[in-house]
Amino acid sequence: MSEDEIRATRLEKVEQLRQLGINPYAYHWEITHHAAELQEKFADLSNGEEVDLEVAIAGRIVARRVFGKLAFFGLQDETGTIQLYLDKKRIDAAMAQQLPDAFNHLKQLTDIGDIIGVKGTIRRTEKGELSVFVSQYAILTKSLLPLPDKWHGLTDIAKRYRQRYVDLIVNPQVRQTFRRRAQITAGIRRYLEQQGFIEIETPVLQSEAGGADARPFITYHNTLEMELYLRIATELHLKRLIVGGFEKVFELGRIFRNEGISTRHNPEFTTIEIYQAYADYNDMMSLTENIITQVAQEVLGTLKITYQGEAIDLTPPWRRVTMHELVQEKTGLDFNFSTLEEAKAAAKKAGIDGVDECDAIGKVLNEAFEQACEATLIQPTFVLDFPVEISPLAKPHRSKPGLVERFELFVVGRETANSFSELTDPMDQRQRLEAQAARKAAGDLEAQGVDEDFLTALEYGMPPTGGLGIGIDRLIMLLCDCASIRDAIAFPLLKPETSNE
């Protein structure tokens, strides 16, 4: 049967249910237990044994085996599955008043995908299957569309993301990922609150998009007659809070960047940014280790995980190495060049592409790092001390001219966190933002503009501050073994489906 024919048949069943006085779209069902709870509680029940405990459960029919006066359904709720043992004599006797011939109606008018509620006792069948021995049932929601038989066999992977609700019904592993995601974000918040941090929400609509090098989404406010940007970072507002006297603040929330989509990029994604007064990037390294190891231990029960077949050990302390050292280790290049031309020539000789566009030695160094080193950083590694040219919001390094106090955390070849000793000198900050604004004026769509109000805030005085950003989606990918960022986001952005007509 085609999907249209199945839908038509099921619509007929909706009508038949209504004629029997049954609402196929019920209002309420009182649940006493869940499937996993029953499986655990009665794990030791012997074959053929029954427990005289009345239970009421509800869920979706995921399997049906129907015989003459007996039927077995598989029922799936949020926690797992359990068998329903359906006996004609028992059901007809218990439901004689409300629905004569109840067993046959159940047999004929239900389908895989329907949501039902049942009451009954617990028994383990002679074959060893723990079951609810049903005495009464109610059809709670009649499903009109069939569930796919072999969802994993679908060639159209995008359909899993497009129809995530079906993906969730048929793939317990996907449900597990999003349950874990919720546990991980709750665990991060809990840990930070225990350390004395508070979460303060900052604006999503901003008159100046700043805090990162990224192309923003632009929208328009009709009443104010002004363009606004969706935020590309929470940084500049959280720093204003530090200026205002809060010493430990964070925000876990959505960020929007009008950029490409890939296995590691979604235009709408989640980060946590954390700022601590009187701290520097060394303190932020410890905080990063603590947050990630704490939630991994709490949610997964281990610090030794597997990502796409590769063993990853999250046991601290993690490796700390400078960008210079890594580039020298992988390419042989020692970046103590006196001129830009010299650096470009050496990088080209070492096989680094795209250096002609670089307008500073620091950018050549960064190209060499991205091309030769990033993908090799499989175990958790803090990469320290970045060039000033690519770090407009970080403090100059206290002992290394031309560098800033910044680290990025890499795991499985991916940047997972980014942190600075934050720049607190308002005059230095103005010069750097003006240099960015010049790049923007010259056509760089990712360069930041000058946020005058932020500079005014800095002029009131910001204490020494450590700042940290962690990409939540990438952290979920790592801890839940997701190959693509789309597997870590419940509803990733997809192009609309084109009609075949």
- Segment holding 287, helix H or strand E: helix 281-300
Based on the fold, state whether residues 260 and 407 are members of the same structural domain. yes
**Which CATH number belongs to the domain containing residue 204 in this structure?**
3.30.930.10
**Residue 351 is assigned to a structural domain of this protein:** no
Do 241 and 108 share a structural domain? no
pLDDT at res. 258: 95
Question: 307 and 437, same structural domain?
Answer: yes
Structure tokens at 143: 């499903």
Contact present, 349 and 325 (Cβ < 8 Å): no
100 and 17 together in one domain = yes
HSE-up of residue 487 (Cα within 13 Å, Cβ side): 20
Say how many domains are in the chain: 2
Which pLDDT score is estimated for 157? 77
Alpha helices in 80-171 (DSSP H): 88-94, 102-109, 157-162, 164-170
Considering 141, 162, 196, which residue would you say is the last residue of a domain? 141
- List the Cα angle 28/32/34 in 5-degree steps: 100
Residue 500 domain-assigned?
no
Q: What is the dihedral of CA 131, 133, 139, 141, to 10 degrees?
A: -10
One pLDDT digit (tens) per residue for the chain, 501 residues: 899 999 999 999 999 999 999 999 999 999 999 999 999 999 999 999 999 999 999 999 999 999 999 999 999 999 999 999 999 999 999 999 999 999 999 999 999 999 999 999 999 999 999 999 999 999 999 999 998 875 454 446 778 899 999 999 988 999 999 999 999 999 999 999 999 999 999 999 999 988 888 999 999 999 999 999 999 999 999 999 999 999 999 999 999 999 988 888 999 999 999 999 999 999 999 999 999 999 999 999 999 999 999 999 999 999 999 999 999 999 999 988 989 999 999 999 999 999 998 989 999 999 999 999 999 999 999 999 999 988 888 999 999 999 999 999 999 999 999 999 999 999 999 998 998 889 889 988 888 889 999 999 999 999 999 999 999 999 999 999 999 999 999 999 988 877 654
pLDDT tens by residue, 119-158:
999 999 999 999 999 999 999 999 999 988 754 544 467 7
Asked if residue 451 is part of any domain, the answer here is yes
Return the CATH number at 34. Answer: 2.40.50.140
Judgement on whether residues 52 and 190 belong to the same structural domain of the protein: no
Specify if 105 maps to a domain. Answer: yes
CB-side neighbour CA atoms (13 Å) of 99: 20
Looking at the fold, whether 114 and 230 belong to one and the same domain comes out as: no
Model pLDDT, residue 500: 58
Residues 301 and 393 grouped into a single domain: yes
Asked, for residue 330, whether it belongs to a domain, the answer is no
CA gap 333, 347 in Å, rounded: 7
Q: Is the CB of residue 362 less than 8 Å from the CB of residue 391?
A: no
The encoded tokens of residue 76 equal 């799936």
Predicted TM-score (pTM) of the model is 0.93
- Looking at the structure, do residues 222 and 284 belong to the same domain, yes or no? yes
One domain for residues 268 and 386:
yes
Is residue 130 located within the same domain as residue 177? no
φ and ψ at 115, to 5 degrees? -105, 125
The answer to whether 250 and 274 are in contact (CB under 8 A) is yes
Residue 306 and residue 236 share a domain = yes
496 domain-assigned = no
Residue after which a domain boundary falls, among 99, 122, 141? 141
- Structural domain including 482 reads 170-318+379-487
Q: Residue 57's closest CA among 86, 27, 87, 37?
A: 37
- Are 238 and 200 in contact, with CB atoms under 8 Å apart? yes
* 241 in the same domain as 137: no
Q: Is residue 501 part of a domain?
A: no
Token couple for 290 = 């603590």
Exposed/middle/buried for residue 333 (C-beta within 10 Å: 0-12, 13-18, 19+) = buried
Average pLDDT value for the chain: 94
365 part of a folded domain = no
Provide the CA 173 distance to its chain's centre, in angstroms. 14
**Nearest CA-CA partner of 325 in 335, 317, 316:** 335
